[in-house]
Amino acid sequence: MSDALEEQQFGAVTVLYGAHHGKYPHGNTLIVRGRAQSIAIDPSLGLVARGSPPPHVDRVLHSHCHEDHVAGSFLYPDAGWLFHEADLPGIRSLDGLMDLYGYAEPIRSAWSKTVVEQFHFTPRPEAVAFHGGDVFDLGGVTVEVIHAPGHTRGHCFFRIEPAGLVYLADVDLSSFGPYYGDAWSDLEDFERTLVMARELHARYYATFHHVGVIEDRAMYLARLDRFAGVIADRERRLLAYLAEPHTLDDIVRHRFVYRPHDQVAFADGVERRSMSLHLARLMRDGRVRELEPGRYRA
């Protein structure tokens, strides 16, 4: 697939596919049109790559505040921007966004430059908050907010009716699995979100990355179970690694989220945050103990 967006229609919803079905750093943007209003959900880099004016909308709705989900929002300077209240600090300033990630220097400064230059981050102090359970009535079309935290504090799904489509944002059903490597991520919130996601019934399930739109519920559940199973696999591998004593620095170097050869600038920060969450839980459960300060063993 080229960088040009391919489109697919699902009733009042148009899915604009990013390059390679929204493979990061690209993503799949939704345009939802009712009789009275229209909205864009998660404007991606693909909108920028079009090189033409973006589809007109009245408001821009974001599933959460991450660089790839706001990369095309600057194209809508006159539309209202909306975020869940818990993620609102991330769009109000660049420092607020960096606090959401929680990277230490020198990664913080380098990443700040990247989100501005490559993802067109534009602070929006006047962005408006929404809440779980809110419903946007566009005129014959509704968009319901389903709070789905874990990836970020304010991460949300959206149910769009009467299209019968649920947008899952970064529960992207990929083989990489759940991402909970930011300061504002929470492993156990993510697990609760995944349990909730199994109870969602829809005609279509749409993701921001990779998969695009799934119409078959059995396929959706199979992909969801595989996605969720990555959490247990990471924990299983960590326990096996801790058959011998290791420090958190050892764990970070070993790589449990990314592959050892993956060239990701912020990989160490993600590994440290993600595996610290697993380590804390394993210690609470009595499956790992601290032999001496900073050294752990299963």
3-state secondary structure of 198: helix
What domains can you pick out in the chain, each with its CATH number?
6-228 (3.60.15.10), 242-297 (no CATH)
pLDDT tens, residue by residue, 98-114: 999 999 899 999 999 99
Instruction: Kindly state the tokens that stand for 148.
Output: 């789905």
pLDDT greater than 70 at residue 2: no
The H-or-E segment that residue 79 falls in is: none
- Residue 218 main-chain phi, psi, to 5 deg: -60, -40
Instruction: Kindly state the tokens that stand for 185.
Output: 């991520």
Residue-level pLDDT at 266: 87
- pTM score of the predicted model: 0.95
pLDDT tens, residue by residue, 3-44: 557 999 999 999 999 998 899 999 999 999 999 999 999 999
pLDDT tens, residue by residue, 53-69: 999 999 999 999 999 99
pLDDT greater than 80 at residue 1: no
Burial class from Cβ neighbours inside 10 Å (0-12, 13-18, 19+) for residue 188 reads: exposed
Which residue type does 112 have? S
Burial class from Cβ neighbours inside 10 Å (0-12, 13-18, 19+) for residue 243 reads: exposed
Cβ–Cβ under 8 Å, residues 101 and 180:
no
